[in-house]
Structure 1
């Protein structure tokens, strides 16, 4: 089965939290990765999401990089809340 990964940089202007996370995450730029697999047996290409992760890349060298699983709907709500804050 073929897989693909789509990558997107997203920016949070304010600290945020997602359901199931223990800690508040700092504002900053995050990398969102969505892995999808090709659905076989169809007469047209279709993809199914396998996983979505978010990674914060700290600005200092040799810092710990943490990749966390994320629910796309929770992420959409957090991004909307961040955009709506003054």
Structure 2
């Protein structure tokens, strides 16, 4: 059976966790490789994902031991959503001295 392999990158602004890792992974841009196989018997071309692998270390930190962490798209999407939420929350926190104080006249 033919397997289609697609490679992309994902970027995390904060440390994150995936089920295949013992410790939190550092922020950075990571390679993600997805394998898909065709679904036979349909009247159109369609593929089913069979594997999703996140490669470590991050591209921005090439030192260290290389590893491939098996994950699934839902877990990866959830980790990215949590990262975006943390980024949004950190932008919404007022800096000291710049709170929403009414201007005095």
Q: TM-score, normalised by structure 1?
A: 0.86
The alignment's C-alpha RMSD in Å is 1.6
Q: TM-score, normalised by structure 2?
A: 0.72
Question: Runs of 4 or more off by more than 3 Å in structure 1?
Answer: none
Higher RCO, 1 vs 2 (CA within 8 Å, ≥6 residues apart): 1
Give the number of equivalent residue pairs: 85
Deviates more, 1:42-51 or 1:17-26: 17-26
- Structure 1 or 2, whichever has the larger Rg, is 2
CA contact (8 A) 1:8 1:32 kept: yes
Query: Kindly tell me: are residues 57 and 19 of structure 1, through their superposed partners in 2, closer, same or farther at Cα, counting changes over 3 Å?
Result: closer
| Structure with greater proportional strand content | 1
5+ long unaligned stretches in structure 1: none
Query: Kindly tell me: are residues 41 and 5 of structure 1, through their superposed partners in 2, closer, same or farther at Cα, counting changes over 3 Å?
Result: same
